[in-house]
Structure 1
Amino acid sequence: MLFWIISALLTVVVAVLLLAPLLRASARATRYDEGEAAVYRDQLRELERDKAEGLISAEDADYARAEIGRRLLAVANRDKAGGEGEQLDDVAPATAPVTRRRYTWSQAFILLCLPVIGLAGYMQIGSPGTPDAPLEARMANPGDDVDLLVAKVERHLATTPEDGNGWNVLAPVYFRIGRFDDAELAYRNAIRILGPDTERMSGLGETIVMRNDGIVTDDAQMAFQAALKIEPNNPRADFYLALALEQSGRRAEALAAFQEIAKASPPTAPWMPLVNQHIAANSAGVPLANAPAVSAEADAQQTANPAAPGNPTAEDIANAQTMSEADRGEMIRGMVASLDARLKEDPNNFEGWMRLVRSYAMLKDMGRAEAALKDGLKAFPAAGAEGQQLIAMARELGLSVDEVSQ
């Protein structure tokens, strides 16, 4: 019922808005006719004065009176017939009043036809038979609607803010749907009421990291350290603390920390691929921990070409030792350009992007270094761990990270 009341009110509002210009134009037309008739009456009175003073002959006065009378009758007929009277010959069409009958038809169309058209359209494409779905009814049975479930818990916590279990349930949900500010508040409330535990402290730390675009801040480190005091060797907390070392430029310590995580984790752990990526990024050719053994064929291929992709071969190094400084620099630029070309063909090479950005920076070519960083972030977005490594390294190299990562 409320829907139909609102629809009727909206129809009235739209009709008033559409009728207002027509009503104003009709009123202007009426005022125009009244003013025109008043002018003709003044002309009749002035004609009588001129005739009485002998300024005009009786024959001319009769002719003028007949003409003025004809015009008055034309105005009267136009008023009486709703605009069907003749237009005056000496009145320009552009300034002549719009006929009232035209306004009448327009007003009738707006008042009658538009509501009928709107109602017919709604009956055709709308859903008039759909029952009401009040918020209370939907809150009572939210089903799988995450937004309604969250709203239901929020309503509960608004009346009982000291319910630690409610905050504890809501915090990870906030995190999953990307409401990191609310997630941090929920975690802090749960910790305040229920006390700290590994999950809550690690969740708080990870939320702070996400709020800061993947940077492990001091507050996040404190949360992870608190989680480790409760449960030592927690891989989630260990990983972020190792990432903090990497982001601060302490690569040797970060490498050792990631290797410790790998040693303490089963080879099939879901976090091992990411850990191995960080080990590879912080080491030059150190074998990945818990990596499966390579086949004999692969081992033979590695022996034949031990250089990592983009690195100079032993022959390149031997040739470089006999070159002049200028030739050596040209050779290095050629190898960097070759690496750049290979990465454009196969951008899914994280180590290659790290090496390319660093190489351009070492060559003092900051423009190409930033361009390589931008291309690398397309393949490894800043939201991911690899993208954060690229950004952290770029900051250490003095590159303009903010403009590139936007």
Structure 2
Amino acid sequence: MLWAVFAMMTFAIVLALARSLSERRESFGDHDSDVAFYRGLLAEADDDVRCGLVGPEDAMATRAEIGRRLLASLDSASESRPHAWPRWQPRRTAAALAIALVLPLVALASYLKVGAPNQPDMPIASRRTGEDFTLAAAISEVETRLKGHPNDGRGFQVVAPIYLRMGRFQDAAHAYRAALRLLGENAEERASLGQALTMAADGVVTAEARGAIDQALVDDPKQPLARFFHALAVEQDGDTDRARQLWEALEADTPAGAPWMDAVRQHLDKSSRPTQSKAEAGRSRAEVAALPPEQRRDAIRGMVGGLAEKLSKDGHDLQGWLQLIRSYVVLGERQKAEAAVASARAQLAEDAQAPERIDELVSQLGLKR
């Protein structure tokens, strides 16, 4: 059916072009200048009458003579037209035949070369609309392309931060490694690799993560993400004084509204509290980092659970809510993180600064508002 429609459209276009070429293009040629000349004389005669240079009777006779000569010139032009037609007819015929034969052949050859005649139809009902388009579908398409083009460094560079926001930390680390290998060193991406490895380890800065962070700081000592996780690593090593110096320096260099500012303030508030004993605080960060993966995850879940219980009793601690939301995301429990966001908004409804701080963190973590 579609081919028949295309054929009819092509035939209609060819017919219109051929007909326009087959029509006689008549031209007065030199007689056009004669007609213009006699019409100019008629106008001059009228001007002479208005100016009183010629009497009405004489002007009438003059106009009659000019009109007779104009008609004679038009008759002469009409008799000369048929003689000009035979000279042009062969050329017009050849042009019409060329359009009728060459144009469809060129169109068909072009379509067969660049088109897809064997491609099956795609009904409108089966096409993906903007409403059906999801981030997961887009990621799936990118992953399919990267499997066929494993050296597409730009593709890995684009998909890595999306993995990170989706909570797919191991995939994000793999993508960052590939982008760095294919595109060369980049301090920001090296720091992001350290972040992905840390979050994949439930918030513990592992040896591999620290190596990536240290390399990023060698390339760019002012890189904020690398400075953040470097300070976190120092804090987890137990050197709280040094960690506090690093947090304060990072806070001083951080512009207002930066997405990591809440986390920096949270660590500063934590470091300013009285130091607890090991019996009171439980396992330290260093002890947690030394645990096997499953035990480490259980230990961190216990800490997060304790924080959630504390906030359920006293929900006016903004920093505590921000820490809880971030911890749930690190653990891959995004539904709990979104529930914590809702609880934080309800508990801190009277806090003027809370909505803005919560919105910043939600945007940073890619959570639903």
TM class by shorter-chain length? Answer: 0.3 to 0.5
Please report the TM-score for the alignment, with normalisation by the length of structure 1.
Answer: 0.39
Please report the TM-score for the alignment, with normalisation by the length of structure 2.
Answer: 0.42
